[in-house]
Structure 1
Amino acid sequence: MIKTVIFDMDGVIVDTEPVHKYAYYQHFNELGIEVSEQLYASFTGNSTRNVFQRIKDTFNLNHDVEELILRKRHLFNEAFDTKPDLELIEGVHKLIKNLHENGMQLILASSASKSTINRVFTRFDLYQYFTHTVSGEDFPKSKPDPAIFLHAASLSVAPKEHCIVIEDSTNGVKAAKAADIYCIGYHSDNSKHQDLSLADYLIHDFEEIDFEKIKRLV
């Protein structure tokens, strides 16, 4: 029986992607580089550090990666704090509460930075439901590398065979499967360019799952 649900954050709990995209492209304009939509889409599920390492290599930038990260983070925080319509993904708060109230352990494993996770969790009062939050900035490689999910599973109250991951990105699903963890793929308008075919179970709405359904998935 499933004991632990490991959530991704961007695109699963909250849609910060438009804010990230705004901040990235504002920064790209400052750097004088043109990043195609196709290249940008390939960044999904990657940490900011790995994105800028790729950007630096692709465009032969002389900037220090840490410098690039700090500037983008400033632009993101500025936009995040002034965007009043930022909301949780429809249905996810009800699911989180339902799982928590029934004793399911919840862990966050997100490629986002610790500061972004803290902003989201504080704004929407989510810390009360999760036993751990894991940030991709603590790992040298981003999803699809499985390290973040293997670490999250190591924090579970049960072996990883009793864990599931909820993901909405190609890289996230690949990472979950590389970690040999059952994966629910959340297919939404935000993930229409993502390949979730490797997911073990696919949903289009969080109303499709609850505690009773999830505990019997594996």
Structure 2
Amino acid sequence: MIRTVIFDMDGVIVDTEPVHRYAYFRHFDDLGIQVSDEEYASFTGASTKNVYQHLKEKHGLEHPVEQLVMGKREFFNRAFDEKPDLDLLDGVRTLIEDLHQHGLQLILASSASKSTIDRVMKRFEIGPYFTDLVSGEDFPRSKPDPAIFEHAASLSKAPKTECVVIEDSANGVTAAKVAGLYCIGYSSEHSPLQDLSHADLVVGHFSELTAARIAAINTKAE
């Protein structure tokens, strides 16, 4: 029986990907570097810090990683605040409220920065549903490294065998599985080119999930 649900954020709770993409490519232009769509897709699930560590090494950028992160964040924050049509993904609020109403613990484990997580929680008023908010900026390596999910599971009131992760990226699913957690892959139109075949269960819409269905998952049978 599942007692704790660990949510990824970008591409699962809210589609900030267009805002991130806009911010990244505006910043790439400023830095004078070229990033292909395929390379950009490989960044899915990685923290901004680790993306820029990679790009700094690849392109020999002189700026400190922290400065590069802040440069991209300025573009993101401005776009996030000004984008009127930004909303939660279809069906996820209903699922979050259903899980909370049925007493399941909710934990957020996102590669996003703490400031972005706080912006999402406040804008959509979903913070009170989550007992813990875990940011990827607190870990030296991004997904598929399992550290963020191992930490999230340690915050659970239930043992690891009673936790489930909801993820939309190949890196995220890998991180969850390496951490020894049952993983539901969310096949989102907002997260293309992601192989979720190694997830324990894949859904295409949150209407496929309810508190009852998730609670009834038997991870020991997988």
TM over 0.5: yes
1:201, 1:38 → 2: CA distance? 26
Amino acid at match of 1:58: K
Paired residues in the alignment total 218
Equivalence for 2:87: 87
Equivalence for 2:197: 197
Equivalence for 1:170: 170
Equivalence for 1:141: 141
1:192, CA displacement in angstroms?
2.8
1:71-150 equivalences in 2 (<5 Å)? 71-150=71-150
Equivalence for 2:44: 44
Amino acid at match of 1:36: S
Query: If the length of structure 2 is used for normalisation, what is the TM-score?
Result: 0.97
Secondary structure in structure 1 of the residue aligned to 2:174: helix
1:188, CA displacement in angstroms?
1.6
Equivalence for 1:14: 14
1:21, 1:188 → 2: CA distance? 16
Amino acid at match of 2:63: H
In percent, how many aligned pairs have the same letter?
63
Query: If the length of structure 1 is used for normalisation, what is the TM-score?
Result: 0.99
5+ unaligned residues in a row in structure 2: which ranges? Answer: none
Equivalence for 1:2: 2
2:189, 2:9 → 1: CA distance? 16
1:58, CA displacement in angstroms?
1.1
Equivalence for 2:186: 186
Amino acid at match of 1:72: K
1:214, 1:22 → 2: CA distance? 35
1:128, CA displacement in angstroms?
1.1
Secondary structure in structure 2 of the residue aligned to 1:191: coil
Amino acid at match of 2:216: R
2:137, 2:160 → 1: CA distance? 22
Determine if the alignment matches structure 1 residue 156 to structure 2 residue 139.
no
Equivalence for 2:212: 212
2:110, 2:201 → 1: CA distance? 20
1:80, 1:98 → 2: CA distance? 27
5+ unaligned residues in a row in structure 1: which ranges? Answer: none
1:114, CA displacement in angstroms?
0.1
Amino acid at match of 1:94: T
Runs (4+) of structure 1 moved beyond 6 Å? Answer: none
2:217, 2:57 → 1: CA distance? 42
Q: Deviations over 1:95-145 (max 9, x none)?
A: 000000000000000000000000000000011100000000000000000
Worse overlay, 46-55 or 188-197? 188-197
